[in-house]
Amino acid sequence: MKLKHSLIALSVLACSVASAEVVKGIDTTTGYAANYASTGQEMILDFSSVSWNVINVSSSKQLSKALSKASPGDKIVLAPGTYSGRFKLSKSGSQNKPIWVVGADAANMPIIDGGDYNNKTAFAVDGNDKGISYIYVQNIKVTNARGGISVDNADYITIDGVEAYNVGQAGIHLRDGSEYNIIKNSYIYNTGLYNVKYGEGIYIGSDYRKWPGGSSSSEYNPKVDHAQIINNIIGPNVTAEHIDIKEGSSYAYIIGNTFDAKGMIDILNGGLSYIDFKGNNAEAAYNTGNQNGNEYFENAFEVNTKSEGWGFHNNIHNNVLNFDDEFAGKKSITMTLALGSKGKAKSSKQTKEKSLDHWVVRNNTKGTTKVSNNTRVPADSKRMYKGDISEY
């Protein structure tokens, strides 16, 4: 994986900055978002002090066994190669002895191949009903499954230096009451191969219809709080929002990421903004967005209410958004609605007139969104902010 912008990346081996150029909005002593409120229960960053139980694996069978028997202090090291199947970690680490799942060679990362982009998740961190915590997943690739990585009922999980690509729906999903989790230094692209509507890069939380008592047969705890999305590259060919912060989720920190809108095609469902803020008290800062010739792209950031009481008090500042304004305005567009059925790509299209305004921030919620110091390229003061927005 070759990242296209400078990394901050606190090493998991030592609290040292990997690059002279530091991503703004990051506390270099912790690697966390600068405004993140520490709980005192965060996973230790200096892994050199841990007496690891090293488990080397080089086959799918060995990996499944290591994950099923994992315990605090296990360092599961994946040799380069392809691991066919779908894998789950349901064991918990501890604050001072996490479970570390890591590729042996960051330059030749192991590939977890789920076998079919219409079938489950390539790598699941799943606390089931009891909950798990303190797991570090680093330097692996996940591909060819319904989702790349899912985190359910699991806290203090870090996903670092991962590549998630060629998946049927979302690249990485934080869900079901999972809190204080980090996704950083990762590369997510080519999502939504099964259904563009669910082809988000990173999905935080759950739709209100999937909350307990909702209309869906699936039920998830909506409280997915304090997620940190730091210094990732998301896109191209992420078909829906690059980051979708769902109602029920609070205090997401979206810092220092680069978004590539090329290949975003979820036009019917409005999934054509880098970040959709449906939760509360999120912060998005020091991110860069590039339209890259996508004629369908709408607005950099949107704030929406999907459930009463949600979509409020978000803070959007110091982002740089590069638009291709020749694609703005009212036009008839042929929209791709969905792709994929049982692993075979299919398409359904519809033509509809749309107005592409190219707002930096469009607020569709009757509540205050704080914005400041964002840069629009090319500059256009009439297309900076729309809605009930407070600049400060």
CATH number of the domain enclosing 147? 2.160.20
Question: Is residue 77 included in any domain, yes or no?
Answer: no
Residue 34 phi/psi, 5-degree rounding, is -60, -35
297: its two tokens = 């792209």
Q: CB neighbours of 41 closer than 8 A, spacing ≥ 6?
A: 95, 156, 180
Range of the structural domain that residue 367 is part of: 117-391
Q: Is 362 exposed, middle or buried (0-12, 13-18, 19+ CB in 10 A)?
A: buried
Question: Is residue 129 included in any domain, yes or no?
Answer: yes
**Tokens 């219409």 correspond to what residue?**
118
Question: Is residue 310 included in any domain, yes or no?
Answer: yes
Question: Is residue 42 included in any domain, yes or no?
Answer: no
Tens digit of pLDDT per residue, the chain (392 long)? 434 333 333 333 333 333 335 789 999 888 999 999 999 999 988 899 999 999 999 999 999 999 999 999 999 999 999 999 999 999 999 999 999 999 999 999 999 999 998 889 999 999 998 999 999 999 999 999 999 999 999 999 999 999 999 999 999 999 999 999 999 999 999 999 888 889 999 999 999 898 888 777 788 999 999 999 999 999 999 999 999 999 999 999 999 999 999 999 887 777 789 999 999 999 999 999 999 999 989 999 999 998 899 999 999 999 999 999 999 998 887 766 655 555 555 666 777 788 899 999 999 998 789 999 999 999 999 999 998 787 64
Query: 3-state class of 49 per DSSP?
Result: helix
Smallest Cα–Cα separation from 14: which of 29, 34, 36? 29
Residue 386 phi/psi, 5-degree rounding, is -135, 135
Question: Is residue 196 included in any domain, yes or no?
Answer: yes
Question: Is residue 331 included in any domain, yes or no?
Answer: yes
Query: 3-state class of 293 per DSSP?
Result: coil
Question: Is residue 211 included in any domain, yes or no?
Answer: yes
The number of folded domains in the chain is 1
What is d(CA 164, CA 193) in angstroms, rounded to the nearest whole number?
13
| Helix and strand element counts for the chain (H, E) | 1, 34
What is d(CA 336, CA 334) in angstroms, rounded to the nearest whole number?
7
What is d(CA 368, CA 122) in angstroms, rounded to the nearest whole number?
39
Question: Is residue 99 included in any domain, yes or no?
Answer: no
73: its two tokens = 């202090």
Smallest Cα–Cα separation from 300: which of 317, 324, 323? 323
